[in-house]
Structure 1
Amino acid sequence: MAGRICPPTSAISIESSAALELSVNRFDRVIAVRGTDEAGCALAQSLQVDHMPYLNALQAVQDCTAAQKQVHCYMTDADTLDAARESNLPLGKYRMLLTLQALDPSLTADDVRGLSMPELRQLEQTLSGTDSTGQTSGQGAQSGGNGQNGNGNGQNGAGNGAGNGYGSGKGNGQGNGARYGQAGS
Structure 2
Amino acid sequence: MKYRLKETFDQIKAEEELKNRTKVFVSEKIQNDTSSKAGTAGRSIRRLAPVFVCMAILLIGSYWLYFTPAWQISIDINPSIEISMNRLNKVISVKSYNEDGAELADLLDVKYKNYAEAICQILENDDIAALLSNDEILMIGVIGNDETQSSKILADIESLAEGKKNTYCYCVHSDEVSEAHKMGLSYGKYKAFLDLRALDPDITADDMRDMTMREIQDLIDELSGSQDNAAEKTGDTDSNTHHHTGKKHRNSYKGGE
Same fold by TM-score greater than 0.5:
yes
5+ unaligned residues in a row in structure 1: which ranges?
A: 141-152, 157-185
Deviations 1:89-128 (A, max 9, x none): 2322200112233444454323433433233223323444
**8 A Cα contact 2:77 2:213, kept in partner:** no
Residues 29-38 or 79-88, more deviating: 79-88
What is the correspondence of 1:45-64 to structure 2 with a 5 Å cutoff? 45-64=106-125
- 2:140 is aligned to 73
Residues 111-120 or 29-38, more deviating: 111-120
Pair 139,120 (structure 1): closer, same or farther in 2 beyond 3 Å: same
Q: Identify the match of residue 95 of structure 2 among 18, 21, 34.
A: 34
Letter in 1 for 2:129: A
- 2:220 is aligned to 124
3-state secondary structure, aligned to 2:129 = coil
Measured in 2, the distance between the counterparts of 1:67 and 1:105 equals 33
Deviations 1:26-60 (A, max 9, x none): 33221111222223212212322122221121012
5+ unaligned residues in a row in structure 2: which ranges?
A: 1-57, 145-173, 239-257
Measured in 1, the distance between the counterparts of 2:195 and 2:89 equals 28
Pair 14,130 (structure 1): closer, same or farther in 2 beyond 3 Å: same
What is the correspondence of 1:7-18 to structure 2 with a 5 Å cutoff? 7-18=68-79
- 2:182 is aligned to 86
- 1:138 is aligned to 232
3-state secondary structure, aligned to 2:190 = helix
3-state secondary structure, aligned to 2:232 = coil
3-state secondary structure, aligned to 1:4 = helix
3-state secondary structure, aligned to 1:120 = helix
- 1:5 is aligned to 64
Deviations 1:149-184 (A, max 9, x none): xxxx8837xxxxxxxxxxxxxxxxxxxxxxxxxxxx
**8 A Cα contact 1:136 1:155, kept in partner:** no
- 1:100 is aligned to 196
Q: Which structure's residues are more often strand, by fraction? A: 1
Pair 93,57 (structure 1): closer, same or farther in 2 beyond 3 Å: same
Measured in 1, the distance between the counterparts of 2:230 and 2:85 equals 40
**8 A Cα contact 2:96 2:102, kept in partner:** yes
| CA radius of gyration, larger in | 2
Measured in 2, the distance between the counterparts of 1:154 and 1:101 equals 21
CA RMSD of aligned residues (A): 3.2
- 2:206 is aligned to 110
If the length of structure 1 is used for normalisation, what is the TM-score?
0.60
1:23 aligns with 2:84: yes
Q: Which structure's residues are more often helix, by fraction? A: 2
